[in-house]
Amino acid sequence: MKRLPPIAAALVFLSACEREDREFRPSPVAGEGDAAIALSSIAPGPGGTEMRADTGKAYEENAYHLSEGKRLFTWFNCKGCHANGGGGSGPALMDDRWIYGGEFQNIVQSIGEGRPNGMPSFRGKIPDELIMQIAGYVRSMGRHVPMDAAPGRNDDLMPRPSEHRLPSSPAVTGGTVPPSGQAPQ
Amino acid sequence: MRCCRPALLTPPLLLLTACSGWQSSLDPQGPQADLLAGLFWVFTAVLSAVWLLTMTALVVALLRRHPARTEPLELNTRPERGMARTVGAAAALTLVVVVALTVVSYGAQRALFSGGEAPLTLKVKGHQWWWEVTYEDPGPSRQFTTANEIHVPVGQPVHVKLESADVIHSFWVPNLAGKMDAIPGRENRLVIQASKEGVFRGQCTEFCGWQHAHMAITVVAHSLEDFERWRESQISAAEPPDDPVRKRGMQIFLSRPCVMCHQIRGTPAAGKVAPDLTHIGSRLHIAAGTLPNGRGNLAAWIVDPQGIKPGAHMPLIKLNAEEVEPLARYLEGLK
């Protein structure tokens, strides 16, 4: 009976061994375009998206996917227009103002289908899994993802705190709409 | 016990077989590697001799009969003086050995890092998990980029500038030179030279992440004429395919996500973050030494990169079954 407490203590340590799974190999069977997230093409603006299978939690709460998204954000030159999230010729991504909705599925749709006035469509150019990784990273810029999963500090200079040090944003469904989004189109 | 002796002997013998071959510092193929191998053998010989002498002295001292002491406080100065002399001589000898080895090592390193003019300068950049190789040239149109394979002319020193795109890597081609780190934000220099033709394997020797073990580089040493021929062919853009299957392959390549990362000079594909594929068909290996080059392996790599090299930045591109073969044929033909 005396041995029981130390053994129990050792078992408690073992429980820390599993942290998160890195999923490298998406299912090779599904065809390109058969997205896990069903996207509606009806209307711009928040709330217009039909959501069937997945809310993107697998991508938003996984540190590996988020850091991959961060790398791809640079590789695919999202920075060229959106800078480091502060916006340039493209809108800012780190605030809570979203012209086409700030939910995970809205962002996936914006990247995949493109948006008027400049955002190109990347469907067929970026594989679906990578689009979702990027969308997860975009969500992390406003700290809509758990702190322990958000990417850490950059190696190079960064104009703002790293994603995991940003204050967590309050959940606004779809975000608020900036003036440019409210104006009649 | 007799039966087991061969089994006991096998492991050391197996270790010896590793002393020659295309990735061994004990099989030097260039002046830099010769220096290092010489240093290795001098150190091994001197230190083995020191070890043997020390062990012999220790065993002799243990086995020698000592006269029993009757009185613990009795002073017997004569043998003690002898002992002091022995210890003093051994300490002096140690000093001599250490200083001599330092001088030998310093001399070798001075020769290694003396620099000097080299007709050829390469920039080798480590990426997770492959090597980007740029052949520098004063004329910008004669500069070109390739990946995971270095060709050098025999008998000429080649300057290698080492850089890194992400984490610390280390460049080591044991048959040609010592290892040198590739550090982000820094340029390290190394000189390699091959004294005879051959193919040598190098390996990243600084743990750099998930696929560190699959980050090899191949060095091919040619005669000067062959090297110049190879360089001219690498400078040229990819030749457009002429048969319909390869034409279809090129179309697939250009309309799929491949172009987001890869470059094929002579086509609109101009991605800069993944290996340049302009002449991939001429390389010996694909995926940084992971697979021998060939149509089958190219197809396997395209269809399931994460099964072959989990964590690599090559994503799974979902192609239709009939698209794989033309694509692999197109890439195979990029000589």
> What residues of B are in contact with residue A25 (Cβ under 8 Å)?
304, 306-307, 310, 316
Tell me the domain boundaries of chain A.
55-179
Q: What is the DSSP letter of B67?
A: P
> What residues of B are in contact with residue A75 (Cβ under 8 Å)?
260-261, 273
CB-based contact B311 A30, cutoff 8 Å: no
Q: A26-35, A87-96, A168-177, B189-198: which has the minimum mean pLDDT? A: A26-35
Top-level class of domain A55-179: mainly alpha
Distance of alpha carbon B54 from alpha carbon B14, whole angstroms: 29
Instruction: Assess whether B255 and B318 both reside in one domain.
Output: yes
CB-based contact B316 A31, cutoff 8 Å: no
Among candidates B257, B316, B320 on the partner chain, residue whose Cβ is nearest the Cβ of A26: B316
CA nearest to B196, candidates B154, B252, B238: B154
Instruction: Assess whether B44 and B99 both reside in one domain.
Output: yes
Q: What is the pLDDT of residue B288?
A: 92
Q: Which value does ipTM take for this structure? A: 0.80
pLDDT tens profile A86-133: 888 999 998 878 888 888 888 999 999 999 989 999 988 998 889 999
Q: How confident is the model at residue B12 (pLDDT cuts 50, 70, 90)?
A: low
Q: What is the pLDDT of residue B19?
A: 59
Q: What is the pLDDT of residue B1?
A: 42
Cis peptide upstream of residue B129 (ω within 30 degrees of 0): yes
CB-based contact B306 A24, cutoff 8 Å: yes
Q: What is the pLDDT of residue A111?
A: 93
Which of B231, B265, B291 is a domain's end point? B231
Q: What is the pLDDT of residue B317?
A: 87
CB-based contact A24 B311, cutoff 8 Å: yes
B172 within some domain: yes
B179 within some domain: yes
- Shortest CA distance from B167: residue in chain A: A155
Instruction: Assess whether B42 and B109 both reside in one domain.
Output: yes
CB-based contact B303 A26, cutoff 8 Å: no
Helices (H) and strands (E) in chain B, counts: 9, 12
pLDDT tens profile B271-327: 989 999 999 999 999 999 999 999 999 999 999 999 999 999 999 888 888 999 999
Q: What is the pLDDT of residue B321?
A: 87
> What residues of B are in contact with residue A26 (Cβ under 8 Å)?
306, 316
Query: What is the domain extent for residue B284?
Result: 244-332
Name every residue in A having a CB less than 8 A away from some CB of B. 22, 24-26, 28, 30-32, 71, 75-76, 124-127, 129-130, 155
Instruction: Assess whether B35 and B146 both reside in one domain.
Output: yes
Find the mean pLDDT for residues A141-158. Answer: 83
B76 within some domain: no
Percent of chain B with pLDDT over 90: 77
Into how many domains does chain B fold? 2
pLDDT tens profile B51-106: 999 999 999 989 987 777 667 777 777 777 888 898 999 999 999 999 999 999 99
B163 within some domain: yes
Instruction: Assess whether B89 and B122 both reside in one domain.
Output: yes
pLDDT(B134) > 90: yes
CB-based contact B316 A127, cutoff 8 Å: yes
CATH code of the domain in which B95 resides: 2.60.40.420
Which of B252, B256, B259, B318 best tests the A interface by mutation, with the highest count of A CBs <10 A? B318
B1 within some domain: no
Q: How confident is the model at residue B10 (pLDDT cuts 50, 70, 90)?
A: low
Work out the angle between the directed axes of helices B244-255 and B321-332 (0-180°, nearest 10): 100
- Work out the number of other CB atoms within 10 angstroms of the CB of residue B290: 21
Instruction: Assess whether B323 and B295 both reside in one domain.
Output: yes
Q: What is the pLDDT of residue B2?
A: 47
E-assigned strands of chain B?
120-127, 130-135, 144-147, 149-153, 158-164, 169-172, 180-182, 188-192, 198-204, 216-222, 285-286, 291-292
Instruction: Assess whether B134 and B205 both reside in one domain.
Output: yes
> What residues of B are in contact with residue A131 (Cβ under 8 Å)?
none
> Coil, helix or strand for A69?
helix
- Shortest CA distance from B128: residue in chain A: A71
Q: Do the beta carbons of residue B222 and residue B197 sit within 8 Å?
A: yes
**Between chain A and chain B, how many beta carbons pairs sit less than 8 Å apart?**
41
Instruction: Assess whether B130 and B183 both reside in one domain.
Output: yes
